[in-house]
Amino acid sequence: MSVPVARTMLRSFSSLLRTQKTCMNNGAAADTSLRTYVTGTSEPLRRTGLYDFHVERGAKMVPFAGYSMPLLYGDVGQVASHHHVRTEAGLFDVGHMVQINFRGPTAAAFLEHLTPTIISNLPNYASTLSVLLNPSGGIIDDTMITRHSSDAFYIVTNAGRRDRDLPWFRSQLEEWNSPQGLGGQKGDPVEMEILEDWGLLALQGPKAAAHLQTFTSFDLKQLTFGKSAFVPIEGFNLHVARGGYTGEDGFEISIPPTHTVEVATLLTRSPVQLAGLAARDSLRLEAGMCLYGNDLDETTSPVEAGLSWVVSAERRDDVNGFIGAQEVLRQIKEGPKRRRIGMVVSGAPARQGAKIFKPGSDEQIGTITSGIPSPTLGKNIAMGYVSVGNHKKNTQLEVEVRGKRQQAVVTPMPFVKPTYYRGTDCKLKGV
């Protein structure tokens, strides 16, 4: 990768950090949100429990989702960091994400009221991605839901949506637990516990499993993609979920506040390299992952976003089955007016906000929501929304970049094939 291309990628990420001003939505996929949501406000930035850890290791800290978070470390650039995660392993601090426990005999029904996904039939310690919906069917946030037992669930939501999600949960809980609500009627109120200041580390890359295995007697081959367990790691009993936001095999590890620095220090050994927001953004876009605030918001439905699969089949005939069901089910039946697509763009990289046109036409048919030069592919890739009929594979489009039209072609996502570990019949590198 040339120096000019590397600089272009950093400018791309920097532009994301500058385009905050207001958050149209309470954010939007895991992790998760490369939009900062904090520029233009005088409120102090929050810090994860690893702030000093990052500074001591030469991190360039930037405002992101209301937190001061590492962008890069020392003289390791974005492209080098990206490649290290794809070929070896990287460790990301994602402790800014909101971790919550929901408990109670009607907890599954409560979460199924807020989301379009059936979770009551999840096996214990299995996870699913879902979305929180507003009454219009728009995505309040994307979330990962893990079932721990018949009446206990652990969920993770985006940091940039904290001020939207938590009041929403509380208001819905109050209604649910009232004498008129299901929890109140049955005498089975649901309790919410926010795991404030808990650490969350994402260990990602083809050597992540082999590295983590050196610290535990637990056989990580038992932990397939989408599964979790409490794993003994050097004397700590930690919640470890197999998955992540990069498309690589890896783990997300939840850690009590008093042990976060110690665990992070333990895991930051060769071949692991600390990685920041810059690499996280390019990795997630190559993997076709949405970033809330860019690719998802409260005006976007899961059908438009290409996430119809989060709407369980059992729920597609019940317009009163979950919040926002009427509009979401209408779109599933009749089709949406726009669709999220992936694109390969010729020429200069297309940024968020770039206009999409039909070739030779002045009719704007869509907008870019995320775009970067892909370090892995050596091409400019982008994600965006276009009107239905222009979303099919290999459709030729034009994107306006710096006042000039450039050719683009609709390309299936993910752009880079994921390497999730799905069982012992698959190769688990290094283990």
CA distance 195 to 244: 20
- Reference 148, options 189, 111, 185; nearest CA is 111
CB atoms within 10 A of CB 271: 16
Say which residues have a Cβ less than 8 Å from residue 170's Cβ, sequence separation at least 6. 192
- Asked if 215 and 234 touch (Cβ cutoff 8 Å), the reply is yes
Q: Is 304 annotated as a binding residue?
A: no
CA 212/CA 301 separation, integer angstroms: 38
User: Do 190 and 176 touch, CB atoms closer than 8 A?
Assistant: yes
Question: Beta partners for 270?
Answer: none
User: Strand order of the sheet with strand 236-242?
Assistant: 228-233, 236-242, 250-255, 199-204, 89-93, 272-274
Dihedral sign of CA atoms 120, 121, 126, 131 in order: negative
Q: Which residues are part of a known binding site?
A: 252
Q: Which residues are part of a known binding site for substrate?
A: 252
